[in-house]
Structure formats: C-alpha cells, structure tokens
C-alpha cells in the first residue's frame, strides 16, 4: 500500500486480498491445496499396528482411494478438497503415468522421508496466479535406483538425490511449466497453461494428461446416494462435472500448439486443417484476406479513429480498423519473410529453397497456406491471387514490422525483406518520398514503426532515448500519413464517377 497526499493506494494484489476478506470475491476458494504426497501419511493410516509408512505405499497409491485428501502434480482444489484438478505425464519409457511425486518413507531414507523429484513452486499470488515447474526425465524414472541406493547408505552419508542418478545427463529432460490463473471477474473460473520445453539435444515424446476427479466422500455412509458427484463427456474435449456443493462445472481442454522446428507439429493431428473444434479453421487464402483488408479499410473510412476493437482477441490491446487491416497485411507478408534462422515459412523447412544461393531469393506462389505453420499448399505458380502480396507490400511494406503478437525480441530482429527501411528522425525525405522514411541496406530497427511499443516482453531496456515529445510528434505524423493515405485510396469507393478513367483504375478495384 502506498500513501500519497493523504490517500491510500492499494496494489492489485492488496485489492484482491481485500475482496477476499470482505467476501466480495472468493479468491482463495480454489488454490494449491492438493497434497504433493498423500500416501504414507498418518491421515490415511488404518493399519492395526499404526505403521503408516508401510500401510499405504507409493505402489498402492495408483490403485487405492484416499479418504482425507488427494495428491497430484501442481494440483488445485477447492478449500474442502472435493474437486481436484492436476496433471499427469508420460515419457513412453516409464511403466505407469507420472501422476504424483515420488519419495521415500521414513524407513527407506537414510535421513528419513523425502521427495526425490525436481519440482519448484515458482510463483503464487494467493491465489489469482500460480506457477509450478516440474523437471521430468526423458529416460525411465529411476524408482528402483533411488530406493536401493538410499537403503544402502547410512546416516553419515549424503542423501542420494535424483540429480545423482544421471537421469538428467546431457540435459535429456523436460522443463514443464504449469500455470494457473483466475478470471478477474469470476475467480471460480480457472485457466491452465502447460508449457513443456525439451532441454535435450534430440526430439523426445511426452504426453500431457490433465485430469479432474472428486475425493471419495460418498463411500463411508455419511452422505446420501443422491449427493454422489458425477463426471461425463460433454462434447469434444470437454468434461462436465456435477457436485451437490460446487454445482455444475466444465473442464475444457484446448489442443496443444505445435512443438516448433525441432519436432513434429501435433496440432493438425488433433483438430485438422479444416475444422475439428468449435470454430471454423482452415488455410490462409490471400484472396479472402485481401477482401477482408479492403472491407476493414472502407469501414475505417467511415468510423475513423474513434471506433476501436480488440486485436488480437483476448490480448487487451485495442486499435482502430485501419491498424487492424495493416496488422493483417503485415502478418501475411511475414509468410514470405526470413526468420532469424534464414528460413521462410512458405518453404516448410526445405534447405534448398531456404539456403541455396541459386534458390533462396525466389519465392513460390501457392494457392493457399497452412494456417499453423505458414507452409505453402495447393497449386504453385498457377493461381495469381498470391500476387496480391505485391499490393500489400506497396501499401504497407515500408513500415512492416513484427505482428503485435507474439512480441518476441528474436522475431523483431528478423530480416523482413531484401530492402529494409528505418525511420529517419534527423532529416526530411524528398517531396516524392514518404516523410520520415529512408532506405537502409544494413539494419532494421524494431522501432521503425513509431507507434510500436518499446516494451518487449516486459523488458523496457530495449527502448530508445528519443524524447517523449519527439515520439509523440512522430506518432501523430505517422498516423496522419496513414489516415490521409487510406482516405485518398478509399475515397474512390464512395465516388460513383471514380474520378479517373478506366485506364487509371487499379485492376483490383475495377468495377465490373
């Protein structure tokens, strides 16, 4: 909390904690309350001799139900532990799923009980956001080795940890980040994101298995039969749950994104290029996008700067329709530009087309492009629609910059075109050139767009030292130029006479 001029200003976290205390919003109803290890605990001990350690072993935990709690990796549940959500993994080497953390009981460890895993709680704002890191070996998990070696060692010896087994050698493991967030308007709405990084030198398989279940509270004779919860499939990639206290809830799972250049893209396998989820999806057609761009420009002509939409959806960033049309054109141009590795998306990783000096500067014209990878599809050199890219380069190529998403410094340093441009703040252009733009053959600044945010992934150290007033002037000048250009180009659509002869009409704007 900050006190300034007699007023108290709360941080966002303090506001949430205050809302929770006042029960305006129940931020702590769902949290990381699932145990990391419920087996071999006193609460689950029903042995006649009170030996909790051996009564409920790790081997039993895969087939026996708990009564007083549950365990899981990065598990989340309600404050009563009724409904649980966690993640399991499989590397295609282990004999069973990795559903919970492995550890030793008190008699098994040379220094007593302990977890023999590599897991870290990275962040938690109770409990609007949580982040968990689990390092999962790509080799078979050394269960037997950990048991045998720790049993062999005495109290004077060091503990035998998982990093001592060699299972992480050569970086052959997965860094799995599990993030949990809550909707600001409805803390009961939980959002999960799992990101798995292959730290090893070779591609490796991994299966990520989200699972939801109820703690068994109905088998002990204290709840009537009609209060028994239920789970059932509810459409594709969705599970519906019903609980007498929590009500109806839905677990919706999104397909995994592609794994990048080092591995196989899993997205087309799950939902396909032509549909498979609740939204229409398909390839990228230049003609369709060109018509969309023209429509947005016409709407911008009438609505102007005041009407803004969120772009991309869910980003929280708003822009007017002129900028949206420009954003689409920039993304389309990036289908054909080189990335940091010198590859073009349309070539689909073909070394000959990407690197051979006799091939790399010549672009293939495709009928359409893959919506996930950008690779060229369909007929080549037979459909002239791809030639519309030249019009987009003519209109926006001089200020083409990386798309607003993703904002990554590496993408920002990519070479967009053979001819690159930077914003010239020191001198004016000629009367025939665009003001403030000069041609350069050596560098492109990610600040070439005066309205591009200097803050890249939260790192504002990349910003330049241009004075704020100068940047405001540049921004206003660039926006005014674009506004005037769009007006001049689109005014003809409002004029029945066209203001020009047929020979002066652009072929893409000619009326039938």
Instruction: Give residue 386's pLDDT.
Output: 77
Residue 229 lies in a domain: no
Instruction: Give residue 473's pLDDT.
Output: 77
Residues 397 and 314 in one domain: yes
Examine the fold and report which residue of 216, 246, 262 is the final residue of a domain before the chain moves on: 216
Examine the fold and report which residue of 192, 216, 240 is the final residue of a domain before the chain moves on: 216
Instruction: Give residue 425's pLDDT.
Output: 37
Instruction: Give residue 4's pLDDT.
Output: 63
What rounded mean pLDDT belongs to the chain?
Answer: 77
Instruction: Give residue 362's pLDDT.
Output: 78
CB 501 within 8 A of CB 492: no
Instruction: Give residue 317's pLDDT.
Output: 86
Residue 396 lies in a domain: yes
- The reply to whether the predicted model has a pTM over 0.75 is no
Q: What is the DSSP letter of 140?
A: P
Which of 316, 89, 111, 59 is CA-nearest to residue 205?
A: 89
Calculate mean pLDDT across residues 208-222: 91
pLDDT band of 460, cuts 50, 70, 90? very low
Instruction: Give residue 368's pLDDT.
Output: 80
The tokens of 360 are what?
A: 């790399």
Residues 81 and 199 in one domain: yes
Instruction: Give residue 36's pLDDT.
Output: 84
Rounded CA-CA distance 229/211 in Å is 16
Instruction: Give residue 298's pLDDT.
Output: 92
The percent of residues in the chain predicted with pLDDT above 90, rounded, is 37
Instruction: Give residue 453's pLDDT.
Output: 41
Residue 69 lies in a domain: yes
Residue 47 lies in a domain: yes
CB 369 within 8 A of CB 375: yes
Residue 235 lies in a domain: no
The percent of residues in the chain predicted with pLDDT above 70, rounded, is 73
Q: Which of 50-59, 225-234, 431-440 shows the lowest per-residue confidence on average (mean pLDDT)?
A: 431-440
Instruction: Indicate whether 264 pLDDT > 60.
Output: no
Helix, strand, coil proportions of the chain in percent (round to 5)?
A: 25, 25, 50
Ranked by mean pLDDT, the top range of 45-54, 270-279, 503-512 is 45-54
Residue range of the domain that includes 184: 26-216
CB 93 within 8 A of CB 45: no
Give whole-number Cα distances, 406 to 11, 204, 410, 448, in Å. 28, 26, 10, 17
Residues 157 and 301 in one domain: no
Residues 315 and 207 in one domain: no
Which of 292, 330, 290, 296 is CA-nearest to residue 490?
A: 296
Rounded CA-CA distance 165/146 in Å is 8
Which of 180, 183, 179, 131 is CA-nearest to residue 26?
A: 183
Q: What are phi and psi of 192, to 5 degrees?
A: -120, 145
Examine the fold and report which residue of 172, 193, 216 is the final residue of a domain before the chain moves on: 216
Instruction: Indicate whether 70 pLDDT > 80.
Output: yes
Residues 193 and 302 in one domain: no
pLDDT band of 105, cuts 50, 70, 90? confident
CA 231 to chain centre: 28
Residues 207 and 299 in one domain: no
Residue 230 lies in a domain: no
Residues 177 and 45 in one domain: yes
Q: Which of 111-125, 139-153, 379-393, 426-440 shows the lowest per-residue confidence on average (mean pLDDT)?
A: 426-440
Calculate mean pLDDT across residues 100-116: 88
Model confidence pLDDT, tens digit, residues 153-164: 998 888 899 999
Calculate mean pLDDT across residues 62-73: 89
Please name the helix (run of DSSP H) or strand (run of DSSP E) that holds residue 175, with its range, or none: strand 173-182
In the structure, how many helices (H) and strands (E) does the chain have? 10, 21
Residue 259 lies in a domain: no
Residues 173 and 311 in one domain: no
Model confidence pLDDT, tens digit, residues 113-131: 888 999 999 999 888 999 9
Residue 275 lies in a domain: no
Instruction: Indicate whether 83 pLDDT > 80.
Output: yes
Domain count, the chain: 2
CB 66 within 8 A of CB 37: no
Residues 211 and 294 in one domain: no
Residues 204 and 306 in one domain: no
Query: Residues near 317 by Cβ (< 8 Å), separated by ≥ 6?
Result: 310, 311, 404
């Amino acid at each position: 909390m900050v006190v300034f001029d007699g007023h108290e200003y709360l941080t966002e976290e303090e506001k949430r904690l205050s809302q929770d205390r006042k029960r305006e919003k129940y931020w702590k109803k769902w949290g990381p309350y699932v145990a990391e290890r419920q087996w071999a605990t006193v609460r689950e001990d029903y042995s006649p001799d009170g030996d909790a350690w051996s009564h409920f072993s790790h081997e039993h935990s895969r087939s026996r139900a708990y009564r007083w709690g549950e365990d899981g990796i990065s598990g989340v549940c309600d404050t009563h532990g009724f409904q649980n959500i966690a993640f399991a993994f499989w590397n295609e080497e282990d004999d069973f799923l990795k559903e919970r953390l492995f550890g030793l009981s008190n008699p098994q460890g040379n220094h007593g009980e302990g977890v023999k895993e590599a897991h870290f709680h990275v962040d938690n704002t109770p409990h609007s956001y949580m982040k968990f890191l689990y390092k999962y070996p790509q080799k078979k998990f050394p269960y037997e080795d950990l048991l045998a070696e720790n049993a062999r060692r005495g109290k004077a010896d060091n503990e035998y940890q998982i990093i001592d087994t060699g299972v992480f050698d050569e970086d052959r493991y997965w860094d799995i980040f599990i993030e949990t967030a809550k909707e600001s308007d409805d803390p009961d709405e939980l959002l999960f994101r799992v990101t798995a990084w292959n730290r090893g030198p070779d591609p490796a398989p991994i299966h990520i298995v989200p699972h939801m279940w109820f703690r068994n509270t109905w088998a002990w004779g204290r709840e009537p039969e009609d209060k028994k919860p239920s789970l059932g499939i509810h459409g594709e990639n969705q599970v519906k749950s019903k609980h007498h206290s929590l009500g109806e809830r839905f677990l919706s799972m999104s397909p995994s994104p592609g794994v990048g250049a080092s591995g196989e893209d899993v997205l087309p396998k799950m939902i396909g290029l032509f549909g498979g989820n609740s939204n229409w999806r398909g390839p990228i057609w230049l003609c369709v996008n060109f018509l969309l761009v023209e429509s947005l420009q016409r709407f911008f002509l009438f609505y102007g700067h005041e009407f803004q939409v969120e772009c991309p959806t869910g980003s929280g960033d708003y822009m007017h329709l002129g900028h949206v049309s420009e954003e689409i054109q920039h993304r389309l141009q990036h289908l054909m530009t080189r990335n940091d590795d010198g590859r073009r998306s349309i070539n689909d990783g073909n070394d000959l087309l990407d690197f051979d000096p006799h091939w790399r500067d010549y672009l293939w014209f495709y009928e359409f492009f893959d919506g996930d990878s950008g690779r060229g599809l369909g007929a080549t050199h037979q459909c002239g629609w791809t030639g519309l890219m030249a019009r987009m380069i003519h209109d926006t190529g001089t200020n083409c910059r990386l798309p607003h998403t993703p904002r990554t410094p590496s993408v920002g340093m990519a070479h967009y075109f053979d001819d690159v441009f930077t914003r010239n703040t020191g001198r004016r252009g000629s009367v025939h050139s665009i003001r403030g733009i000069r041609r350069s053959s050596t560098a492109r600044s990610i600040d070439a767009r005066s309205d591009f945010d200097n803050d890249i992934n939260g790192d504002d150290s990349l910003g330049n030292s241009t004075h704020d007033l100068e940047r405001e002037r540049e921004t206003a000048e660039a926006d005014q130029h674009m506004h005037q250009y769009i007006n001049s180009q689109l005014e003809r659509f409002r004029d029945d006479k066209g203001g020009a002869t047929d020979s002066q009409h652009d072929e893409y704007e000619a009326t039938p």
